[in-house]
A and B are shown apart, each in its own frame.
Chain A
Amino acid sequence: MIDCDIHPQIGDPEELISYIDPAQREWFRAQGASLGLPGYSWVHPSSWFRQDIDQNGHPPAADVDTVRRELLDPSGTDAGVLNGDDAVLVSLMPSPYRAAQLARAHNEWLRERWLDAEPRLRASILCPAQDPQAAAAEIRRVAEDERFVQVLLCGGADRPYGEPRYLPIFEAAVECGLPVAIHSGGEGMGIAAPPGGAGPVTFYIEWHTLGSACSTMSHLVSLLCHGTFERLPALKVLLIEGGIAWLPGMLWRLDTNWRALRSEVPWLDRKPSEVARDHVRFSTQPLEHTDGHDETLFEMLEAAGAPDNLCFASDYPHWDFDDPDFMLDRLPDAWRAKVLHENAAELYGARLALPADA
Chain B
Amino acid sequence: MPEWVDVGSVEDVQREGRLVARVNGREVGVVSDGNGTLRGIRNRCPHHGGPLCLGRVGERVEGEPGVYALTGRQTLRCPWHGWEFDLQTGLCVDEPSLRTAVYQVRVEGDRVLIQA
Contact = CB atoms under 8 A, between A and B. Distances in A.
Interface of A: 164, 226-228, 230-231, 258-263, 266-267, 269, 271
B65 A230 contact: yes
B65 A259 contact: no
Given A164-B66, A227-B66, A260 B82 contact: yes
B interface secondary structure, majority: loop
B65 A267 contact: yes
Contact of A266 (B62, B81, B95): B62
B66 A267 contact: yes
A6 to B, nearest CB: 34
19 contacts: A226-B65, A227-B65, A228-B65, A230-B65, A259-B82, A259-B92, A260-B82, A260-B83, A261-B82, A263-B60, A266-B60, A266-B63, A266-B68, A267-B63, A267-B64, A267-B65, A267-B66, A267-B67, A271-B94
Given A227-B66, A267-B66, 16 more contacts: A226-B65, A230-B64, A231-B64, A259-B81, A259-B82, A259-B83, A259-B92, A260-B82, A260-B83, A261-B82, A262-B84, A266-B60, A266-B62, A267-B63, A267-B64, A269-B62
A263 B94 CA distance: 11
Interface residues of B, number: 17
The 4 A-B residue pairs whose C-beta atoms are closest, nearest first, are: A227-B65, A260-B82, A266-B61, A267-B65
Contacts of A258: 94
A267 B94 contact: no
B61 A263 contact: yes
Contacts of B64: 227, 230-231, 267
Contacts of B81: 259-260
Contacts of A271: 94
Contact of A262 (B65, B67, B94): B94
A164 B65 CA distance: 10
Residue with the greatest number of chain A CB neighbours at <10 A, chosen from B65, B67, B82, B95: B65
A267 B94 CA distance: 12
A171 to B, nearest CB: 13
B50 to A, nearest CB: 12
A226 B65 CA distance: 6
A231 B82 CA distance: 26
B94 A259 contact: yes
Contacts of A226: 65-66
B66 A259 contact: no
A101 B11 CA distance: 72
Nearest to A267: B65
Contacts of A231: 64-65
Contacts of B67: 267
A103 B28 CA distance: 65
Contact of B95 (A227, A259, A267): A259
Contacts of B62: 266-267, 269
Interface string B76-110: 00000111100000001011000000000000000
A269 to B, nearest CB: 7
Contacts of B63: 266-267
Contacts of B69: 266
Contacts of A262: 84, 94
Nearest to B70: A266
B60 to A, nearest CB: 8
Nearest to B83: A259
B79 to A, nearest CB: 11
Contacts of A261: 82
A261 B92 CA distance: 14
B84 to A, nearest CB: 7
B28 to A, nearest CB: 24
Contacts of B94: 258-259, 262, 271
A269 B82 CA distance: 16
